[in-house]
Amino acid sequence: MQFRNAVLEVGSRPGTLHIPKDSPPPKVVVVEYDAESVRIDPVDNMQDLRASLTNPKMCWVDVQGLGDEAKLRELAEVFGLSPLVLEDAVNIPQRAKAELHARFHLVIARAPRIESNGKLTLRQVCLIIGDNWLLTFQESYLGFFDPVRKRIDTGLGPIRSLGADYLAYALIDTLVDWYFPVVEQIVDRLDEFDLWLNDDPDQTFLTEIRVIRGQLLDLHRIGRPQRGMVSDLVRDRSEHIQDDVRVYLRDTEDHVVQILEAIESAKETADHLAEGYLAQVSFRSNEIMKVLTLMASLFIPLTFIAGIYGMNFENMPELRERNAYFVVLAIMTTVAVGMLLYFRHRGWIGRRQRRFRPRATMRSVATPRTEHETRP
């Protein structure tokens, strides 16, 4: 998991913008619509943007990219944002939250994104909800809001006949929905690791599991504040959010809860896989130590016998016996065979494991008898 963090200067004054060096220049896209028409155009001139805000139509201003501080401050001046609000909107990373201001609502949200190289990153989006306008800040063009933009363009659903609060709900709900495919991919990978665990995995197994667990921890870390942010919007009683929109936000809150539960379940699965791998490693190590111990135990008496008759004493009667060599070999063979038979009798070697086969299906549960039927 990779966070796109700006380098924060210690002791910087409030309202200072810390923009990443690789951040692209901002592209401002204005979406104006009502029930009958829609217009989606990029805007470079702030005067045109001011004119759009005076239009009675709903106005969504999407800022894609944060690489020009002067332009960002000019946008803040157009919308009447204080330096502290702009700091929360632009500086990365911020904790997901919802703040009520006099003229608008400030919402910070986080969403996961799978990059082209397969890495998982966490992206930040800011929404500022006004009376008849909505301002969003994205680190770059992320594609998060394309489904909502398509709904506006095609007139699908009630989105073009409702206000900025419903548009904000649609965007927040879309950001939350982006968690589902990411978590599902992680769960699918864990299922593959479960199969791999039964196929004698190597040392990379535990390394990959730790990476996945780190991803789940990061997702949980940004998911918990996300739930608090949506809950704050549901409980909010300001005029910026209508009661009918709060009903939709409760559904989004349920989605966040589902995501957090799925993340917790995946974390437990990852922990169990790691424990299973370590148990396998411990079992294999014990088997190796068992074989080595049995081999050492087998050769201890043989080494003792060979050591006695290998001593250089002049007076050793057995050395003059004609068949002493073969007798000693017979004794050593008898001792070795006897020890092997003893090991087998104790079940230390040559024991077949009894295989337990569970039932193919579960038992049917009979209908519980009533209290009257159970009494004699």
Angle in degrees, 0-180, between the axes of helices 324-345 and 243-308, rounded to the nearest 10:
160
Containing structural domain, residue 84: 2-278
pLDDT digits (tens, 9 = 90+) for 133-144: 999 999 888 889
37 located within any domain: yes
Confidence check: pLDDT of 7 > 90: no
Q: Give the residue with greater pLDDT, 24 vs 324.
A: 24
Nearest to 298 by CA among 346, 347, 333: 333
pLDDT-derived band of residue 155, with 50, 70 and 90 as boundaries? confident
pTM of the model: 0.78
323 located within any domain: no
User: What total number of domains does the chain contain?
Assistant: 1
Please report how many Cα atoms fall inside a 13 Å half-sphere around the Cα of residue 174, on the Cβ side: 18
Q: Decide if 216 contacts 270 (C-beta within 8 A).
A: yes
CATH of the domain at 91: 3.30.460.20
296 located within any domain: no
pLDDT digits (tens, 9 = 90+) for 34-51: 888 899 999 888 888 888
pLDDT digits (tens, 9 = 90+) for 271-286: 999 999 899 888 888 8
131 located within any domain: yes
Q: Tell me the Ramachandran region of residue 178: left when phi exceeds 0, alpha when psi lies from -120 to 50, beta otherwise.
A: alpha
326 located within any domain: no
pLDDT-derived band of residue 309, with 50, 70 and 90 as boundaries? confident
144 located within any domain: yes
